[in-house]
Amino acid sequence: MSAAVALQTVPKIEVKHLTVNYAEKNRMFTALRDVNFTVEEGEFVSVIGASGCGKSTLLSVLEGLYKQADGEITISGKPLDGTGKERGVVFQHYSLFPWMTTRKNIAFGIAQVRKDLTKKQRLELADTFLEKVGLGEFGNKYPSQLSGGMQQRAAIARALAMDTEILLMDEPFSAIDAKNRIVLQELLLKLWEGDGKEPRKSVVFVTHDIDEAILLSDKIVVLTAHPGTVAEIIPVPFARPRDRKTLVQTPEYAEFRSHLLHLFYNDIAERIGGEEVVL
């Protein structure tokens, strides 16, 4: 295989035989076993699974924060080595620094990747991204002065402003009330789909919300627990740009959703007295 061909077909993220063992008191606990999947350039991939099945573990490996994993992970063909400037991250909580105002938080993120910009330019760029997520008036507020939903908007704005090729999100909307969660999902969908002029980012999005996964993703990786393994990788067959209201009314959506639900329930049924599961 020549180098040129290899380059063309190299996935953005490739996870091969990923196994994570946590050392507990005097035994090993296998959180993930032989996980395999890929994320293509510009692909939105959701990872769903019940709580405790290893989703956060998987993401912390991809973030480069957890380094004792076995297996092979490549980013654009290169072996993953620690954190990297090509990956932006949104956590469920505390993505923002509480001592910086929202616009300073975003400008700080920009400063880590764009040394060429002046302080003023970075703040201006921060403001345009605050506008995009609907926080134009809240730039001078501290995170503690914002609602949880607004904090997540700001965290998304920072990740987007840093303009990384890859976005890693670990249940970014799980702590948001149902109504605002829908608004945030639609915001993320709109921002990610864009206007078609710029390339889309490659995304790994962790969730335990099936509707959220279907609405956003090109592909869903279903994990089952104990140990965390991939049960199935399912392409989402719905065309983009997507609109929630029209999408959820189609019979195809109902059918697809029930298929996913089945996968979930089978997994849960196998686990007697299973943990709390949110679907």
Partner 1 sequence: MATATITASSAPAAPKVKAPAIPLAQRFLRVTHLLFLVLLGVQFIPDHASVTEAHTSWLIGFAVIVEAFTLAITPLFKKKEGLNLFLDIIGFIYGFLILWTIFTAKTALLPAALFPPFGKILAQTAEDAPKILINIKSSVGIILQGFILALLAAVPLGLILGWNARLGGAATYLSKFFSSIPPIVYIPYGIALLPTFRSVSVFVIFLASFWPVFAGTMSGVLHVDSKILDSAKVLNVSKPTMLLNVILPASLNQIFLGCNQGLSVSFILLTSAEMIGARDGMGYYVKYYSDFGDYTRTIVGLLVIGIVVIGVTFLVNRLQNYLLRWKK
Ligand X SMILES: Nc1ncnc2c1ncn2[C@@H]1O[C@H](COP(=O)(O)OP(=O)(O)O)[C@@H](O)[C@H]1O
Residues near ligand X, by CB under 6 A: 22, 24, 29, 31, 49, 51-57
Q: Which does 277 bind (CB under 5 to 8 A by kind): partner 1, ligand X, Mg ion, none?
A: none
**CA dist 127 to 133, 194, 198, 246, 268, Å?**
10, 19, 20, 33, 45
| Under rule CB under 8 A, residue 240 binds partner 1 | no
Q: Segment 49-68, which members bind Mg ion (CB under 5 A)?
A: 56
Q: Beta 13-24 vs 87-90: how paired, if at all?
A: unpaired
Compare residues 57 and 185 and give the one whose CB is closer to ligand X. 57
The residue type of 269 is: A
Shortest spacing between CB 117 and ligand X, in angstroms? 35
Measured from each CB, the residue nearest to Mg ion is 56
| Under rule CB under 8 A, residue 125 binds partner 1 | no
Q: Which does 234 bind (CB under 5 to 8 A by kind): ligand X, partner 1, Mg ion, none?
A: none
| Under rule CB under 8 A, residue 96 binds partner 1 | yes
What is d(CA 105, CA 102) in angstroms, rounded to the nearest whole number? 5
Which residues have C-beta within 8 Å of that of residue 239, sequence separation ≥ 6? none
What is d(CA 115, CA 39) in angstroms, rounded to the nearest whole number? 29
End-to-end CA distance of the chain: 44
Residue identified by tokens 């909580």 is: 93
Q: Beta 202-207 vs 44-48: how paired, if at all?
A: parallel
Inter-residue contact 15 to 176 (CB < 8 Å): no
Name the nearest CA neighbour of 37 among 240, 159, 188, 205: 205
Contact region for Mg ion (CB under 5 A) — 31-39, 48-56, 83-91, 112-120?
48-56
Convert residues 70-89 into a mask of x (bound to partner 1 by CB under 8 A) and - (unbound).
-------------xxx-xxx
| Under rule CB under 8 A, residue 131 binds partner 1 | yes
Name the helix (H) or strand (E) containing 185: helix 178-193
Return residues touching Mg ion (CB under 5 A): 56
Return residues touching partner 1 (CB under 8 A): 60, 63-65, 83-85, 87-89, 91, 93-100, 108-109, 112-113, 131-135, 137-138, 142-144, 146-147, 149-150, 153, 160, 162-163, 179-180, 183, 186-187, 190-195, 198, 200-201
